């Protein structure tokens, strides 16, 4: 019984981790959206002298797009879901067997 060897398997290292409830690197998309929103707000409000309400409305666009990407296409979805959806929208469903649904009142059935 003293000859039993123990080896570490690193089986718990499969997780990409979580930051603020966002798995993996999704936090960086949110941080990028916040950063872009602040830059847009500063440019529109300080440099171009727009009103604060109009600047905030325009600055909300990058954060909104990042949030839609994170919560709509990545969080809780299987890996590659976002790329597969974009590919489906761009090039169509691809090829596969043609499904024939018989008509209920057809004479050739």
- Model confidence pTM above 0.85: no
CA separation for the pair 72, 84 (Å, rounded)? 14
Q: Give the tens place of pLDDT for each residue, 21-64.
A: 888 889 999 999 999 999 999 999 999 999 999 999 999 999 99
Q: What is the pLDDT of residue 14?
A: 63
Q: What is the pLDDT of residue 49?
A: 96
Please, what is the angle between helix 26-42 and helix 52-68, to 10°? 160
Q: What is the pLDDT of residue 11?
A: 63
Q: Residue 57 in contact with residue 63, Cβ under 8 Å?
A: no
The per-residue pLDDT of the chain, averaged, comes to 85
Query: What's the residue count for the chain?
Result: 109
Q: Give the tens place of pLDDT for each residue, 49-108.
A: 999 999 999 999 999 999 999 999 998 888 889 998 888 888 877 776 666 766 666 565
Higher per-residue confidence, 12 vs 65: 65
């Amino acid at each position: 019984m003293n000859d039993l060897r123990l080896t570490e398997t690193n089986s718990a290292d499969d997780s990409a981790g979580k930051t603020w409830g966002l798995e993996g690197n999704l936090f960086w998309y949110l941080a990028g959206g916040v950063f872009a929103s602040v830059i847009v707000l500063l440019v529109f409000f300080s440099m171009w002298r727009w009103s604060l309400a109009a600047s905030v409305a325009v600055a909300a666009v990058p954060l909104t797009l990042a949030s839609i990407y994170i919560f709509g296409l990545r969080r809780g979805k299987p890996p590659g879901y976002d790329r597969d959806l974009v590919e489906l929208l761009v090039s169509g469903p691809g090829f596969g067997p043609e499904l024939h649904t018989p008509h209920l009142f057809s004479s050739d059935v």
